[in-house]
Structure 1
Amino acid sequence: MNKVVIAGKFGAMAVRTAVRYALWMRVRVLYFGVLRERLGGDQELLEMIDGATVAGVLNVYKERVPGFAWDSIAVAVNQEYARAEVVLRDGDDVALLPPVSGGIEG
């Protein structure tokens, strides 16, 4: 169902070796709009070092989808808009919300 990705400040491999005794947390990342297509699904569990921020989550996806307009993404944590410096907690829902375009001209 959901895949779990281990990520951290220095990349997955460095985190595993450098921070052997760190506390870990999981957040559920939800994708909307064009990100669903780009990431091949609508959500995943992301395992990060305790105390990670919204910016840390964004960095994971910037590496996965280079060239995407990440500066235009809005982020919500537990259904409230959040800034990059917001510290996440175990079990948080993090939604990545790309800008919406289109509609009916009238």
Structure 2
Amino acid sequence: MEILLFGITRDIAGKPRITVPADTPLATVGDLKTWLGDQYPAIKALSSVAIAVDSEYAEDSQTISSHSEIALIPPVSGG
């Protein structure tokens, strides 16, 4: 499973995408958030990070698979 990163999440990871090892048991967006926080603690410290699954914002209970297109959408500001 690959996760696309944007903005500050890309800066934290130091790369534009993260590859999740195939043997990592991630069934839901919530599982993914927990795994990401363990791997990249600075991501947990962000005020909010949305996760998109197959180009739509996803809730923690949404199921994911190795074929899902996943992106981290960091908080944005502007005016």
Q: TM class by shorter-chain length?
A: 0.7 to 0.9
Question: Of residues 4, 29, 38 in structure 2, which corresponds to 1:54?
Answer: 29
In 2, the alpha carbon distance for the partners of 1:37 and 1:89 equals 25
One-letter identity of the residue aligned with 1:33: G
Runs of 4+ in 1 over 6 A off after TM superposition: none
In 2, the alpha carbon distance for the partners of 1:59 and 1:96 equals 13
In 2, the alpha carbon distance for the partners of 1:98 and 1:90 equals 22
Mind listing any 5+ residue stretches in structure 1 that lack a counterpart? 1-26
Question: Of residues 35, 38, 41 in structure 1, which corresponds to 2:9?
Answer: 35
Pairs within 5 Å for 1:73-84? 73-84=49-60
Mind listing any 5+ residue stretches in structure 2 that lack a counterpart? none
The alpha carbon displacement at 1:83 in A equals 0.4
Greater RCO, 1 or 2 (C-alpha within 8 Å, sep 6+) = 2
Show CA shifts across 1:62-91 (max 9, x none).
11232522x511110010111011111231
TM-score by length of 1: 0.62
Q: Choose 1 or 2 for highest CA Rg.
A: 1
Show CA shifts across 1:15-73 (max 9, x none).
xxxxxxxxxxxx21111110111101011221333x6111111111111232522x511
Query: How many residues end up aligned between the 2 structures?
Result: 75
What is the alpha-carbon root mean square deviation over aligned residues? Answer: 1.8
TM-score by length of 2: 0.80
